[in-house]
């Protein structure tokens, strides 16, 4: 038997033994209904990454549509591998030092991640919880691509995925969901990813847009979307997938999942209508792109609050989310002049910040006894905790993303050449076209 085969067999045996050990030491309390719901929710969240690919793909120029879509699918592949090998362990393994900063390496290669329950989800298999969280990790860096669309080197992007998930996403996930200091010491709430997913990706998108610079001709030549039908289809996929994103974060098939799905739909619907009306008043015409952008803003804003607020509160969150995101995308961004190509920062960053703050305003123990009351229910402390958590997430995501991109720019280069940009990324990076 060759040395390589011996290593492979040893690894397989170690993985099998660790799963068997996990099953032998944990009580089997798996609930079939919860498990079925979480399988569906996991599939819905996975569906969001192809949805984002189409949402973004329709908004770029024809010569870049395949490259834009490929970036999202590359995240689906690369991040899944990183998550299995070490990302999940950094995020959800027991803390290294007791300070709540990062998980240890006990779960590397899914060692010990078996078919019984975990400390994070008592009624579903540990492997299913890991898989559900994987889909969040996959989607998050794909969101960032909207900021540097049409000008980023693909090979550099692949390395960026590995570094960003390792150094930004996994620590934040540990701080918020993995027993880390933001949840335990600070007491901040994030039901489904306002801090971990949307603020982290939105702020990283801003750092990328500022560092890589504008597309050639930005502001002087027209850059209309190639196919808004594709974008609207992608938005529909995102909207449906978000029921699993937020509803699945209840980790059970109960009333909390229903409440989260209800608030999710209300905020999205209201966000779409609000953006549409704001655009109609501001620009004189309502657009399909405007409605789906507002719906996405509402979805982002409700994400951290979805399992903690009432239906009426979600309506308010959706209205404000639609308004503030519209303002940043249509009024503030043109004045500042930065090129966040597909508004990853304007929607995910700004919407995520508002959603996290709104959680501190509208959260209610009557909705979720595991949460806390917010400002409007007599608890100022939660609003303070939410505000501090936003500041931490913004600073950490921006600084670390900036450092990662700087190092990659020096070593590999971030931006394609002028000729490649004129030719388009579909041909220059992938050798294909529609």
Q: Which three-class secondary structure state does DSSP give residue 95? A: strand
Q: Which residue has the tokens 């975990």?
A: 118
* End-to-end CA, the chain: 47
Residues contacting 128, CB < 8 A, separation 6+: 35, 38, 39, 42, 121
The Cα 306–Cα 194 span in angstroms is 10
**Whether the predicted pLDDT of 273 surpasses 60:** yes
Predicted confidence (pLDDT) per residue in 352-410, tens digit: 999 999 999 999 999 999 999 999 999 999 999 999 999 999 999 999 999 999 999 99
Query: What letter does residue 64 receive in the DSSP assignment?
Result: G
**Whether the predicted pLDDT of 236 surpasses 90:** yes
Q: What confidence category does residue 30 fall into, taking pLDDT thresholds of 50, 70 and 90?
A: very high
* Cβ neighbours around 373 below 10 Å, total: 18
**Sign of the torsion formed by the C-alpha atoms of 376, 379, 380 and 381:** negative
What's the per-residue H, E or C state across 225-254? CCCHHHHHHHHHHHHHHHHHHHHHHHCCCC
Output the pLDDT for position 97.
85
CA distances, 57 to each of 150, 197, 355 (Å) = 10, 20, 26
Q: Which residue has the tokens 């229910």?
A: 377
**Whether the predicted pLDDT of 334 surpasses 60:** yes
**Whether the predicted pLDDT of 261 surpasses 90:** yes
Average pLDDT over residues 46-56: 98
Q: How many CA atoms lie within 13 A of 382 on its CB side?
A: 23
**Whether the predicted pLDDT of 251 surpasses 90:** yes
**Whether the predicted pLDDT of 10 surpasses 70:** no
The Cα 99–Cα 237 span in angstroms is 39
Q: Which residue has the tokens 């691509």?
A: 145
Predicted confidence (pLDDT) per residue in 282-318, tens digit: 999 999 999 999 999 999 999 999 999 999 999 999 9
Residues contacting 194, CB < 8 A, separation 6+: 300, 303, 304, 305, 352, 355, 356, 359
Residue range 46-87+133-423, CATH number: 1.10.3430.10
Query: What letter does residue 309 receive in the DSSP assignment?
Result: S
Quick one: residue 413, left, alpha or beta (phi over 0 = left, psi -120 to 50 = alpha)? left
Predicted confidence (pLDDT) per residue in 136-157, tens digit: 999 999 999 999 999 999 999 9
Q: What confidence category does residue 20 fall into, taking pLDDT thresholds of 50, 70 and 90?
A: very low
Task: Please list the residues that pair with 264 across neighbouring strands.
Answer: none
Q: What confidence category does residue 2 fall into, taking pLDDT thresholds of 50, 70 and 90?
A: low
**Whether the predicted pLDDT of 13 surpasses 60:** no
Average pLDDT over residues 5-16: 43
CA distances, 269 to each of 105, 263, 315, 398, 418 (Å) = 42, 10, 9, 30, 41
Model confidence, pTM: 0.93
Q: Mean pLDDT, the chain, as a whole number?
A: 94
Predicted confidence (pLDDT) per residue in 94-149, tens digit: 999 889 999 999 999 999 999 999 999 999 999 999 999 999 999 999 999 999 99
Burial classification of residue 69, based on how many CB atoms lie within 10 Å of its CB (0-12 exposed, 13-18 middle, 19 or more buried): buried
**Whether the predicted pLDDT of 28 surpasses 80:** no
The runs of H, that is alpha helices, within 84-185 are 88-92, 126-144, 154-164, 170-176, 181
The closest of 87, 36, 90, 93 to 248, measured between CA atoms, is 36
Taking the domains of the chain in order of start, what are their residue ranges? Answer: 46-87+133-423
Query: What letter does residue 109 receive in the DSSP assignment?
Result: G
**Whether the predicted pLDDT of 4 surpasses 70:** no
């Amino acid at each position: 038997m060759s040395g390589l085969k011996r290593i492979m067999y040893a690894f397989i045996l170690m993985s099998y033994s660790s799963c068997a050990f996990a099953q032998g030491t944990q009580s089997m309390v798996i609930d079939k209904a919860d498990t079925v719901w979480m399988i569906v929710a996991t599939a819905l969240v996975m569906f969001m990454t192809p949805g984002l690919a189409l949402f973004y793909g329709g908004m770029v120029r024809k010569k870049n549509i395949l490259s834009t879509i490929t970036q999202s699918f590359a995240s689906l592949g690369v991040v899944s591998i990183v998550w299995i090998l070490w990302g999940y362990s950094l995020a959800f393994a027991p803390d290294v030092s007791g300070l709540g900063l990062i998980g240890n390496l006990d779960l590397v290669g899914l060692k010990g991640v078996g078919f019984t329950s975990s400390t994070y989800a008592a009624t579903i298999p540990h492997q299913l919880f890991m898989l559900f969280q994987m889909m969040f990790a996959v989607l998050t860096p794909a969101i960032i691509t909207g900021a540097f669309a049409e000008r980023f080197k693909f090979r550099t992007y692949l390395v960026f995925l590995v570094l960003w998930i390792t150094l930004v996403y996994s620590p934040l996930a540990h701080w918020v969901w993995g027993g880390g200091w933001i949840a335990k010491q600070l007491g901040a709430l994030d039901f489904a990813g306002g801090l971990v997913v949307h603020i982290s990706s939105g702020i990283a998108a801003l750092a990328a847009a500022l560092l890589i610079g504008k597309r050639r001709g930005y502001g002087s030549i027209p850059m209309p979307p190639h196919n808004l039908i594709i974008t609207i289809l992608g938005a529909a996929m995102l909207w449906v997938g978000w029921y699993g994103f937020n509803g699945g974060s209840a980790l059970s098939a109960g009333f909390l999942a229903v409440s989260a799905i209800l608030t999710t739909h209300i905020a999205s619907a209201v966000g779409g209508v609000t953006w549409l009306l704001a655009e109609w008043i501001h620009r004189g015409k309502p657009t399909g792109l405007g409605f789906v952008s507002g719906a996405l803003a509402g979805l982002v804003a409700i994400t951290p609050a979805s399992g903690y607020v009432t239906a009426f509160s979600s309506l308010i969150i959706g209205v404000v989310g639609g308004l503030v995101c519209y303002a940043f995308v249509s009024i503030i961004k043109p004045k500042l002049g930065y090129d966040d190509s597909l508004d990853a920062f304007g929607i995910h960053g700004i919407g995520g910040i508002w959603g996290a703050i709104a959680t501190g305003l509208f959260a209610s123990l009557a909705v979720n006894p595991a949460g806390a009351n917010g400002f409007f229910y007599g608890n100022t402390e939660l609003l303070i905790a939410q505000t501090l958590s936003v500041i931490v997430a913004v600073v950490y995501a921006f600084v670390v993303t900036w450092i990662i991109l700087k190092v990659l720019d020096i070593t590999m280069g971030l931006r394609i050449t002028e000729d490649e940009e004129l030719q388009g990324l579909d041909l220059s990076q992938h050798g294909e076209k529609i």
